[in-house]
């Protein structure tokens, strides 16, 4: 795969890191009856290997649409998406799904867990789709749950867990396939402040272990946990800047707990 990567690219904000995902001139138009909604208008974006990037912008600016497109869940109306040097529009649907399942993990604001299914079984699910055998599945799912601090909650159903714990199950589910990229869309949006800090701590830890993280948020404080912030407005990139005073979630926790009046 290495030789397919645009290793020689110098016009990128990645310094010496390679570009793992790239959007070039991406537009997305939704057709709603008579109305065309231009959700994205010519977006260029490079996701750098092993880095942490926030995609920021007000509600409706196109963040989720862009995340779905770079996550290979949706296709652009115009422009191209390049994964590991390969143009996505040239891939067959099954090839696209294979790349997505192997390389990308998703975390959503609303957790998206199966309700009548234990934490462990929720985390095993992507491995079922990947055809991993039962024993191996359970071993890897346990390991992922331990990694997010839920080793003692494996048999719990989602409604027996707090919002923060449910989001950690969702992160374990995203991790269990060992993706190289995690895309998180407003992952703290439904959480109390302490749970939000815990989720950000986990995302920063994953990044410290080499996983590329793209964080979609409308919240400036959340965004500043990344190294770089790309701002969208009306479907266009309006700025792309390094974060000067990056926030370390683990260092904030004590203050946030105090402000919240103790642990939930």
Ligand X SMILES: Nc1ncnc2c1ncn2[C@@H]1O[C@H](COP(=O)(O)OP(=O)(O)O)[C@@H](O)[C@H]1O
> What is the rounded CA–CA span in Å between residue 224 and residue 252?
12
Confirm or reject binding of residue 62 to ligand X (CB under 6 A): yes
When asked if residue 79 is in the footprint of ligand X (CB under 6 A), the reply is no
Check binding of 231 to ligand X (CB under 6 A). Answer: no
Provide the 10 A C-beta neighbour count for residue 200: 25
Which residues, in sequence order, are CB contacts of 186 under 8 Å at separation 6+? 108, 109, 216, 217, 218
Structure tokens belonging to residue 89: 């529009």
| Complex with ligand X: residue 59 or 135, whichever CB lies closer | 59
* Alpha carbon of residue 145 to chain centroid: 18
Q: Does 129 bind ligand X (CB under 6 A)?
A: no
Burial class of residue 242 in the structure, from the number of CB atoms within 10 Å of its CB (0-12 exposed, 13-18 middle, 19+ buried): exposed
Angle of the 163-175 helix axis to the 134-147 helix axis, nearest 10: 130
- State the minimum distance, in angstroms, from the CB of residue 217 to ligand X: 10
- Residue from the set 30, 89, 151, 178 that interacts with ligand X by CB under 6 A: 30
Binding mask 21-40 for Mg ion (x = CB under 5 A): --------------------
Q: How far is the CB of 74 from ligand X (least distance, A)?
A: 9
Nearest to ligand X of 62, 71 (CB atom): 62
Please report whether residue 64 would count as binding Mg ion according to CB under 5 A: yes
Give the whole-angstrom CA distance, residue 48 versus residue 54: 12
- Least Å distance, CB 19 to ligand X, is 23
Give the CA radius of gyration of the chain: 18
Query: Which does residue 32 touch among Mg ion, ligand X, none (CB within 5 to 8 A, set by kind)?
Result: ligand X
Among 13, 42, 60, 189, binds ligand X (CB under 6 A): 60
Q: Is residue 140 a contact residue for ligand X (CB under 6 A)?
A: no
The correct pick among 27, 46, 54, 61 for binding ligand X (CB under 6 A) is 61
Q: Which runs of E-coded beta strand occur in 206-256?
A: 212-217, 228-233, 236-242
Regarding 64 and contact with ligand X (CB under 6 A), the answer is yes
- In the complex with ligand X, the residue whose CB is nearer, 18 or 63, is 63
Task: State whether the Cα torsion 253-255-259-264 is positive or negative.
Answer: positive
User: At a CB cut-off of 8 Å and minimum separation 6, what does 170 contact?
Assistant: 107, 108, 111, 112, 113, 122
Of the ranges 30-38, 85-93, 146-154, 220-228, which one interacts with ligand X (CB under 6 A)?
A: 30-38
Residues of this chain that bind ligand X (CB under 6 A): 30, 32, 37, 39, 57, 59-65
Residues of this chain that bind Mg ion (CB under 5 A): 63-64
């Amino acid at each position: 795969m290495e030789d397919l990567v645009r290793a020689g690219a110098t016009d990128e904000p990645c310094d010496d890191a390679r570009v793992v995902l790239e959007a070039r001139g991406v537009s997305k138009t939704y057709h709603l009856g008579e109305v065309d909604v231009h959700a994205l208008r010519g977006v260029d974006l490079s996701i750098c290997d092993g880095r942490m990037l926030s995609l920021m912008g007000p509600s409706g600016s196109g963040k989720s649409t862009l995340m779905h497109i770079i996550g290979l869940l949706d296709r652009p109306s115009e422009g191209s998406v390049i994964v590991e040097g390969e143009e996505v529009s040239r891939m067959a649907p099954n090839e696209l799904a294979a790349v997505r399942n192997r390389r990308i993990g998703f975390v959503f604001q609303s957790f998206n867990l199966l309700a009548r299914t234990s934490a462990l079984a929720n985390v095993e699910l992507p491995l079922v789709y990947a055809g991993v055998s039962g024993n191996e599945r359970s071993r890897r799912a346990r390991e992922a749950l331990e990694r997010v601090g839920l080793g003692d909650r494996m048999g719990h159903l989602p409604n027996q867990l707090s919002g923060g714990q449910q989001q950690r199950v969702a992160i374990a589910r995203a991790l269990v396939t060992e993706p190289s990229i995690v895309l998180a869309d407003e992952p703290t949006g439904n959480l109390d402040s302490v749970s939000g800090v815990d989720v950000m701590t986990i995302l920063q830890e994953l990044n410290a272990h080499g996983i590329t993280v793209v964080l979609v948020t409308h919240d400036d404080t959340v965004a500043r946990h990344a190294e770089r912030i790309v701002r969208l407005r009306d479907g266009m990139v309006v700025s792309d800047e390094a974060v000067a005073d990056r926030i370390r979630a683990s260092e904030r926790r004590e203050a946030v707990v105090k402000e919240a009046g103790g642990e939930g």
